[in-house]
Structure 1
Amino acid sequence: MSQTAQRPTGPNGPQRPHSSQGSQGSPGPQGGPGGTGSGRAGTRTAAGSARPTLEEVAALAGVGRGTVSRVVNGSPRVSEKAREAVNAAIAELGYVPNRAARTLVTSRTDSIALVVPEAETRLFSEPYFSDIISGVSAELAETDMQLLLILVRNQRERERLSAYLTAQRVDGVLLVSVHQDDPLPSLLESLEIPSVLAGRRGDLEPLSYVHADNAGGARMAVRHLLRRGCAQVATITGPLDMEGARARLSGYRQALEEAGRPYQEELVGPGDFTEEGGRVAMRELLERRPGLDAVFCASDVMAAGALQVLRAAGRRVPDDVAVIGFDDSIVARHTDPPLTSVRQPIEEMGRTMARLLLEEIAEQGRARRQVVLATELVVRESA
């Protein structure tokens, strides 16, 4: 299990995570415990001066003790007006929360794990992951929560993560890149640890999750290709053990059926969300159906690989073959030609995941929630 601790750095968050390899033993406690003050009047510092108390902060801010506690703990269940009043009182009094005392009482760690069950090559090469991290960091920037990035790439690391979570080393988990047979969501469910997924395993996902309207976005893309007059519309899928990839394939199929076009397996190229996967699938599609005149790719990164193969084969884009990607990542703006793509709000997804998780941490036993974010088609030169 590889992990790195990150402090939220501002409204934009880190653009790229930095991982450090941890191959020996179980990870130790990460991040400083954080929380409320002790609330004891007359507490003295080492120099003998009185330390401001929680009650004094509450009195100056004109709010209750519980409101101060929620502000200090980073709970989202506080009005902006109350939060500003409490923060102003904290600054005026020089109040410092007694973190160690709160940790002993509540077992809170003030840390959140962002778990990615993928190899670091994908983490660093695909904009999706850095955009998610940026959104999460932005949402946590005004809290005391520490963000831990944990990569899980094999069974040994999975077992170590299981022990880490069972020991309650973090207050909650954000899980990105959910595969159908991944045991991690079931582990989170059994441990009853606050958790939010990016995506879901299926229609009956019991955990909270945030995802984009994958099927709707795919339908928009294929309808656009059909309106252009494309007759043989192919698709390059993501890994079909991921619900998002299956939903995009379903949207592709629905758009064809709506137009009275048959769904043909030989126009479907299996991919894996990587650039090389896009190249391999595009070569196979051209061999099977050399007359194809459009391709919908389930990610921008795969579309970039497909464009390389089409160029090498002498196919002009979009004159001979129109190409659409999915994500509207930075990749889409830098391909040749610039890529028409389905935009999913990835940073907003990260923000929403973090917000839901903070609410679950603050209110244990809260009902699980599901959030679906809208997609839109961004038209550029490739289709």
Structure 2
Amino acid sequence: MAQPLARNTRRLPMVDRDQALSFLQQSLQTQAEKLYGIALEDLHLRPAHQGGQNIVYSYTKDSREYILRISFRSDRPPEQIQAELDFVLFLSDHGARVSTPVRSRQGRYSEVLWLGERPLSLVVFEKAPGDRLADRGYQYRDGAPIEEYFANWGQTLGKMHRLARRYAPDPSSARRALLVDTLADQTIPRYVPASQRRVRERCAQLIERLRQLPRDEGAFGLIHGDFSDGNFCIDYADGTITAFDFDDAAYCWFMYDLADAWRAGTGWIAHEADAEKRRAFMERYFATLLQGYAKEHTLSGEWLGRLPLFVELVAIEAVMNEFRAIAEQGEPYDDEGLAFALRCIEEGIPFLGFFDPIYSHEHPFQLR
């Protein structure tokens, strides 16, 4: 049954997606109406994707579209979900375009259903206006240059970082974790196989370098943590961007989000055979993104010069998500993709191997 958080959830038993989904199909028959005034048959399950972190439904009520997100991962207990929502509401209150949570009939932004001793956190969000770029076949709006999209992406990110500098969570509430500490103390020891000795060594070396960096007020704070084009919608009327999916939010350097945006840009030129043309495009792309970013927030040249370091961190975090999905969700081992990423980490190949001879434009980011 649904209830506010009232149990110790620090050490949570593991539950996989299939278990959670089977439970929800039964529980939501009564709880969907009780909590949100929506009938089960009006909930539409969204397809899962590889490495998916949540179970997601969409529905329409009173001519408005909503998203119901259910979090089941063991490292995302209800108090961390509440901390995420507090940040999202702060951003919204201060003018950022974000998908905001809505209260349940009980007046709460998040609800909990218990699967045995395992809490599943439910949150309803207003659907972000517009569409994801992938939903439009990666076609941007008619008559507008793609550079507008890149700049708007950067500006949206810059505004979130500018506001994050002012964000001060309630001292009595849970705080989102430090990304580097989570990697070092939990993710790597738990999920990286002991056989991956070189990967563990490289991760430890990177973490040590990161821990030596200053945590400047203007360069460090609570970040989105996964601000790729799958986690925002574009209003095709004017190009404005609305962000969602802050469940990876963590304390880290702002350069992490920028490095993640750099990684996402590789898809535009991934099938180009000439490495120098790939490099030239990425320089133009990232410069345009930074022009938008600078409209809201500024990072020094010294911080921007650390882009290779943070792209490496993004790569390691992505590999950790692969290992976690294999361990917790039983997802198939992606031999070629994961092997490519591991080779780059082991050998210290910068920029995801995108400009290295190891890269194949015919089989992007796969080891052949």
User: What is the TM-score of this pair, normalised by structure 1?
Assistant: 0.26
TM-score (norm 2): 0.26
**Max radius of gyration: which structure?**
1
